[in-house]
A and B are shown apart, each in its own frame.
Chain A
Amino acid sequence: AQKITQTQPGMFVQEKEAVTLDCTYDTSDQSYGLFWYKQPSSGEMIFLIYQGSYDEQNATEGRYSLNFQKARKSANLVISASQLGDSAMYFCAMREGRSNQGGKLIFGQGTELSVKP
């Protein structure tokens, strides 16, 4: 069965510094997708970045990058130049199979990031 693990319940980072949020996954499927979502205190889930299992390059979206290490089954999120507005809960998620096969997501436990001024 697929599983997503986020081992950092909470993280602190100084404003303008970079921070890495850890995520490991377990799946027997060869085709899968990995996602990171941000959930502010308001509750909405904001899509940040996506990495497909066959993508050879690490995904990047502005200040977000995904450090994808397939052999280690890790998909860490790196946020560069942290801002106060980055304070939120961050969830790693995985979709097994190709995009056109189901599409349900399994989420990790989440990491609460606090950015200090």
Chain B
Amino acid sequence: GAVVSQHPSWVICKSGTSVKIECRSLDFQATTMFWYRQFPKQSLMLMATSNEGSKATYEQGVEKDKFLINHASLTLSTLTVTSAHPEDSSFYICSARVRPTAYEQYFGPGTRLTVT
């Protein structure tokens, strides 16, 4: 099956610093990737849709300037949490579709961010 990787798997950063999370499709090209956020014992909330070669589409309530998304190639999307604060601590998960018309999404293993 299709494989999506994320790096790092966990990260601890100090308040006020920025952290970048990578999402890669390893064996397929993904024109669209999705970024989700999940708090402990809660559901996944879609943050944004990342489109290769164009600007990301953010969901309502998600700060574009705080969560910078770059989809520079067909296999890589990055999420940068800028000026991180403790409330940004969460589990960040990306997903991608094997092809634009495929119905299923394959998820990365997630990145656990802790801001101290």
Main secondary structure of the interface of A (DSSP, over half): loop
Which of B14-22, B70-78, B80-88, B94-102 is near enough to bind chain A? B94-102
Residue of B nearest to A33 (CB): B103
Q: How many B residues touch A, CB cutoff 8 Å?
A: 24
Q: For A45, give its contact among B93, B101, B112 (CB under 8 Å).
A: B93
Residue of A nearest to B112 (CB): A43
Distance from A23 Cβ to chain B, minimum over Cβ atoms (Å): 12
Tell me whether B109 is interfacial, beta carbon within 8 Å: yes
Q: For A43, give its contact among B32, B42, B91, B103 (CB under 8 Å).
A: B91
Interface-centre pick from A43, A46, A109 (highest chain B CB count, 10 A): A43
Residues of A within 8 A of B95 (CB): 45, 105
Residue of B nearest to A112 (CB): B41
In the bound complex, do residue A50 and residue B112 qualify as a contact, i.e. CB atoms below 8 Å apart? Answer: no
Distance from B101 Cβ to chain A, minimum over Cβ atoms (Å): 5
In the bound complex, do residue B49 and residue A104 qualify as a contact, i.e. CB atoms below 8 Å apart? Answer: yes
In the bound complex, do residue A43 and residue B100 qualify as a contact, i.e. CB atoms below 8 Å apart? Answer: no
Once bound together, how far apart are the Cα atoms of A47 and B4, in whole Å?
13
Contact string, B2-34, partner A, CB cutoff 8 A, digits 1/0? 000000000000000000000000000000101
Residues of B within 8 A of A107 (CB): 43-45
In the bound complex, do residue B109 and residue A100 qualify as a contact, i.e. CB atoms below 8 Å apart? Answer: no
Q: Given A99-B103, A104-B49, are A109 and B43 neighbors across the interface (CB < 8 Å)?
A: yes
Tell me whether B46 is interfacial, beta carbon within 8 Å: yes
In the bound complex, do residue A52 and residue B103 qualify as a contact, i.e. CB atoms below 8 Å apart? Answer: yes
Residues of A within 8 A of B46 (CB): 104-106
Give the interface of A toward B (CB within 8 A).
Answer: 33, 35, 37, 42-47, 50, 52, 91, 95, 99-100, 102-110
Interchain Cβ contacts under 8 Å between A and B, 14 examples: A43-B91, A43-B109, A44-B107, A44-B109, A45-B110, A52-B103, A99-B100, A99-B103, A100-B100, A102-B49, A103-B97, A103-B100, A103-B105, A105-B46
Give the interface of B toward A (CB within 8 A).
Answer: 32, 34, 42-46, 49, 91, 93, 95, 97, 100-110, 112
